[in-house]
Structure 1
Amino acid sequence: MSAEASPQNPRSETARRRRLALGALLIAAGLVAGLGLAEGFVRLFFPTFAPSSQVEFSYSAGPLLLAQPETQTRQISEAGDYDVAVRINSHGLRDVNDVATAGADDIVVVGDAFAWGWGVEAQDRFSDQLQVLSGRRTFNLATPTDIEGYAALLAYAKQLGSRAGRVVVIVDMEKDLQAAGRAMPSPASGSPLGAWLTRHSALYLLASRAFEGAFSPRAEPSGLGVTPNEYDPANIDRAANELEKIAEQYRMTVVLIPSRALWMGDDRSVEERVNTAFTVALQRRGIDVLDLQPVLEAQGSPLSYYFANDGHWTAGGHALVAHAISQHLAR
């Protein structure tokens, strides 16, 4: 073996290391270039996944995740259902009214994405229309969350200075009972890398959506993600007890958004049973309840109030609900 080929030769070992380093560098550069091209492809052909088209719920307020304060963006459906402007105030809320100024005669609407106004302009939401119909200042205190989150939202408003006495809590029967009893995820529990990618990468958002779609449990083939309820008296009692705690502090009306499973599939008996049992559980606790099922079914086509490819209300659905709540509160 020659001296140059010998592994004992320092120059030969240095050259080998340089070749390995160069190879690794070229591979890394290729991966970065490939990811860059894929990112550009997604932004060009799937613009709704661009981070600029996403509402970022990453502002921590206690156990809550609210939208980033003082931001303006658009919320765009990849299926073409909506393209709306979103403006977030200094508290991380989608509202031109400042909930910190809410008083005893005002109305505070508390809820999840329905109340937040997913897919509709702010002025088309039922909360904004309720303000016009009732003649009372109405505040929108909503973010994608669940029943425990509704209590946390009210605590957040009180911390800001709210003295609200009249509260309308929107309960989503499609998910809120299933979430009853589960601990709220901590805002800090997510991956920092995932949070960064969500803010900056359309490719990551597209991949995440595809993963969720592939592994979402019991999702309907329609793509609307309807998960049927199971009749569970324990869950019903837990949810009713959580709302009773809110009723002890405020004049509260609970508005029930029925599950779309009532109108999809052949067997609606379980959903009917759950809806009735939960209504009775709330009434036994002295809680005022407005069930939207008959309101949405009155014209015989309840699903027409929802987007074709998204499980939230259209502007027409919000208008219908605003009138129903206004009439109920005026009794």
Structure 2
Amino acid sequence: MRTVLYLLAALLIGLVALGLVEITLSALVPAWRPTRPERSLWRYDPLLGWSHHPGIHTSIHAPHGRFEVRINQQGLREDDVPLAKNSRRRLLLLGDSFAWGYGVDVRERFSELLERRFPLLEVVNAGACGYGTDQELQYLRERGAVFEPDLVLVLFSPNDLENNLACAQYGWPKPCFVLTDEALVPLNLPVPETSTAAALVRRLMSSTILLGRLAGFLDLGALMFHDHEPEEHRRFLESLTLPRSLDLQWRLLRELERTSRGMGATFLLVTTPLDQGIQRYFATRATDAGLRYLPLAPPLCRSLAGDAFEGLDDLQVVQRCYSQHLLETTSLPNDPHWNATGHALVAAILGDWLVGEDIFKDTP
């Protein structure tokens, strides 16, 4: 009995000590605090890996400040969307945290600003933090069609290049694809559910400094979910080259376009600032395929520079913009996500582009 009491006392002392270390680190090294509190809104989803808990209304306390989040009954950061369409043209927006509006209130997002500029446009923002193009394709195929969109806009971000090569991320299993004889083959569907113990570790990893840092050092996420990676995917990655990786990205986008066309919607591809080589790859492929494509980097940089870059081509504009760190004025502190200024600029650029593409010419 005495031994048991000693063990319980030692355990209690150890927990108190760990708690004090956690509090001390949080006070002395705030940069080490968990930085993605929005993941507490996620739940297991057999189609997508994770999705939002419906009906949540909360405040997210992020490193740069606080912002409000309300999730509707459809799992979107939106008001409830009636399935029956009205006279407005409906645009379904797919993307990750840039589309979702990480770091800003809903009224500041570019999707809401577009609606204010174009009263005959209804934007259904289906963006979700952490999603790759593979998850967006699954969403469009299985859930997006119920909205009967006239337009489908995919916002592609640089981290999608990594997301689309993973069958598990952020401690969550997810769907993934491989290319076999130029065909897209889906894997990890339905997405396997994690054990209660793994879910607890995942929660601690995302909410505590100590375990979060230890998880990063030991790559616990990869160790925990190694068994959720199909053998076909491992073999695909072992033989993967950069051109083959880009081919996979493009095939996912083309399948999104084909699916959009199948439901009678116009497909629009927009990329946040990318590596210039990858942007040229997308631009060439989009031109060859006749897709509407807007890379945001050149117009964003021109908007920020005013007349300073007049007479330069897009490549020169982006190079100077990056070297002068102009895009930092559109981002959150120490975070690439757009601030309210960034969303306003993106909304203005997208709006002008939509007008130039005659998107509204058939609107009653």
Which protein is bigger by CA-based radius of gyration? 1
Instruction: Please state which band the TM-score falls in when normalised by the shorter chain.
Output: 0.7 to 0.9
Maintained 8 Å contact 2:331/2:338: yes
Q: 1:29 is matched with which residue? A: 12
Shift of 1:60: 1.7
1:253 corresponds, among 243, 268, 279, to 268
1:192/1:284 Cα in 2 relative to 1: closer, same or farther (>3 Å)? farther
Q: Residues 8-50 of structure 1, C-alpha deviation per residue, up to 9 Å, x if partnerless?
A: xxxxxxxxxx33223222222323444455566678886x759
Structure 2 unaligned runs (5+)? Answer: 175-190, 220-240, 261-265, 306-325, 357-364
Correspondence 1:244 to 2:228: no
1:274 corresponds, among 274, 278, 293, to 278
1:123/1:204 Cα in 2 relative to 1: closer, same or farther (>3 Å)? closer
1:69/1:44 Cα in 2 relative to 1: closer, same or farther (>3 Å)? farther
- For residues 279 and 313 of structure 1, what CA distance do their matches in structure 2 show? 23
Q: 1:6 is matched with which residue? A: none
Maintained 8 Å contact 1:279/1:289: yes
Q: 1:69 is matched with which residue? A: 54
Equivalent residue of 2:155, what SS? strand
Maintained 8 Å contact 2:273/2:297: yes
Provide the identity percentage. Answer: 22
1:329 corresponds, among 335, 354, 360, to 354
- For residues 138 and 236 of structure 1, what CA distance do their matches in structure 2 show? 29
Maintained 8 Å contact 1:84/1:121: yes
Letter in 1 for 2:257: A
Equivalent residue of 1:255, what SS? strand
TM-score, length basis structure 2:
0.68
1:285 corresponds, among 262, 265, 289, to 289
Q: 1:308 is matched with which residue? A: 333
* 1:1-331 → structure 2 map (5 Å cutoff): 18-35=1-18, 37=20, 55-60=40-45, 62-78=47-63, 81-98=64-81, 100-101=83-84, 105-135=89-119, 136-143=121-128, 144-158=130-144, 161-172=146-157, 174-183=158-167, 185-186=173-174, 188=192, 190=194, 192-196=196-200, 204-211=207-214, 232-250=242-260, 251-259=266-274, 271-298=275-302, 299-300=304-305, 301-331=326-356
Q: 2:178 is matched with which residue? A: none
Aligned length: 285
Letter in 1 for 2:299: V
- For residues 179 and 53 of structure 1, what CA distance do their matches in structure 2 show? 18
Q: Residues 52-100 of structure 1, C-alpha deviation per residue, up to 9 Å, x if partnerless?
A: 886422242512411221112222222xx23101111112211114274
- For residues 271 and 11 of structure 2, what CA distance do their matches in structure 1 show? 53
1:50/1:239 Cα in 2 relative to 1: closer, same or farther (>3 Å)? closer
1:285/1:29 Cα in 2 relative to 1: closer, same or farther (>3 Å)? same
Q: Residues 117-149 of structure 1, C-alpha deviation per residue, up to 9 Å, x if partnerless?
A: 000001111111111122211110011211101
Maintained 8 Å contact 2:44/2:193: no
